[in-house]
Structure 1
Amino acid sequence: MKKQSYIDPHPSSYNSRLVVEMKMEMMEGLRIVDFKDLLNVLNSLEDELKQLMITALNAPEGLELLGTKLDYLCEFIVSEENEKLWRQWGDREDVIQCTKRLRATSDEALCMVEKMRALRVYTEEWDMDLYLSLLSASVNEERHYAQIDGTSKVLFIGAGAFPLSAFIIAKETCAEVVCTDIDHEAIYHGEKLAQFLGLQKILHYSDSHLRHPEFLAATTHVFIASLVAEKKELLEELKSKVPPNCKIIVRYGNGLKSVFNYPLEISLLKEWQVKSIKRDNCIYDTIILQPHKMAAVKAT
């Protein structure tokens, strides 16, 4: 699968690219031998993301630099070698706390990148084909497993300002899509971007899925973003509000992937039939959930 990129596709200068290459070489030169090295790498990533968020607000090349650092973080968490090391030290309390801090920082950084990128797209009229191609393969795979078509009603919870998956599904299937997010800036940019793409008739934004009880009662598919923290509580809430045949697609990240995604304890989902979607080199994992009763009915 082609990795999602957060890099600004319009680099502003040769110097900014040189800085990126130098930073990447420095990080790649770090060799993790013990848990102290792992802590140092995680702390360094957190510090660099914080500094680059400041740079992104004050320098033209800042968005590119911040996006490149997020790309490096993605490469770090899909590394098999790093995953092996994580299995050795990932349950240490100091590593757990460091992971939580880095996840909060990377979440903030990603939100900033998505808002700035959305703003540039709909104000400078960049070509969206590049962006939509980045996730199309993985989204189409999820769409295939979930059986989404033009008759579907799709809810995205935790969509953010730049919900590529929602845009791709709306564009390619003409399904009705509702995106929700608690961040009002994300909603503003998402709505502007939907208008720019000509999707405003079928893709809508809201600050809560509970504001749309009629749509919720007819929803065929729900996507829960990987950066939604309280996934289990949300599933409990949805269970009584969506139709029994609704499929719930949950993105999450356990183990090393929890550095960039909120985890989910699959063994606790005893009331659900769980179907995993396996993909190599993906920055998050995906499961499709249906209540056990509905799965039993389908089987007969």
Structure 2
Amino acid sequence: MVNAFSGLKTYLDSQVLGQPELTEGILLALLANGHLLVEGPPGLAKTRAVNALAHGVEGQFHRIQFTPDLLPADLTGTDIYRPETGQFEFQSGPLFHHIILADEINRAPAKVQSALLEAMAEKQVTVGRNTYPLPELFLVMATQNPLEQEGTYPLPEAQLDRFLLHLKVDYPDAATELAILQLTRNEALSTNAPVVTSITQADIFAARKAILQLHMADGLEQYIVQLIMATRNASAYSEKLASWIAYGASPRATIAIERCARAKAWLNDRDYVTPDDIQAVFHNALRHRLILTYTAEAEGITTDDVLSEILRLVPSA
């Protein structure tokens, strides 16, 4: 089963050049049953990446373009009146697909974010007095432009906390840029679609169970907890660290690190988790969960800087 997902990773890497962290993050979110937030400038293959995933996984895919005039019903669906029956009938919206691309999520108003938050948190949507369950396989990959760009708004902390991982993508180097140029030209000339083995939903659910059964030593669980405690009680490790953190990570962060570390070990065809697995997913799992102080902002300290300092200060198992 691992080989099938390794093949999917190879396929994603062939379609999204120079972004191995993005393609791995997509697989980790899929295997750990979580949602993914990807931040970066336009044109860096964020949409292409989730399109490639949709080609390799059994399920229905839908892209939603978030705009300032979007309404909650544009996501959830709405009740339609049928004159022939004299009754209202629910017409489901795009959230009732298996894989959702929420493009430029931070351009939409708060009511739309609230509707998406319920779907992400509870795997259900509420329309009027009725609540409707979403598919068992439900993955949201949201993209957002950097907050410095015009027309963008920061997402609420509660919604950010629902994302399993927050990835940042940046521009490729010159060699990768040339490879991208050649790939797009070859695709335009070719009439054959790339061949990829489709992974069934049953495969995904089986992989998720296998991941939860991987061995994780008690010391590693303690290590994860201590990493999270360092975000809440930073003064126990360093006064400088404490001056940077206004609010620490929630218990969801603990779960996210554990699930993603397990998934990473499984993808590497191991039946046990190592400290390296935990450290490898640490930044992406916590980048969006910390709130820094004005002191940190004044000193030019980023969330990644804080997380690196925590990894340095907290001893591994």
TM-score, normalising length: structure 1: 0.32
Which structure carries more strand by proportion? 2
Which structure carries more helix by proportion? 1
Larger radius of gyration: 2
TM-score, normalising length: structure 2: 0.31
Higher relative contact order (CA 8 A, sep 6+): 2
